[in-house]
Amino acid sequence: MGGTKGDSMSENKKKCANPVCSCVPTGKNKYCSAYCEGTAGQTVMICHCGHEECAGNATK
């Protein structure tokens, strides 16, 4: 009833596929960085993607 489709909203807020990363990848990418793509299939506790705004950033 809000006039916008929920689908477009979820597409705009797509999170990086690395579970500990909070970044939003660009375009149709699943990951925000080469680091995150390299963690596929691994268990990581801290994100080292290099994006300052990342909530999983180890330097915060």
CB atoms within 10 A of CB 39: 20
In this predicted structure, the answer to whether residue 1 has a pLDDT above a threshold of 90 is no
- pLDDT tens for each residue of 5-14: 444 444 457 9
Residue 38 lies in a domain: yes
CA distance 60 to 52: 8
pLDDT for the residue 13 = 75
- pLDDT tens for each residue of 6-57: 444 444 579 999 999 999 999 999 999 999 999 999 999 999 999 999 999 8
- Domain count across the chain: 1
Residue 21 lies in a domain: no
- Between 58 and 12, whose confidence is greater? 58
State the Cα torsion 56-12-34-17 to the nearest 10°: 60
Which amino acid would we find at residue 22? Answer: S
pLDDT for the residue 59 = 60
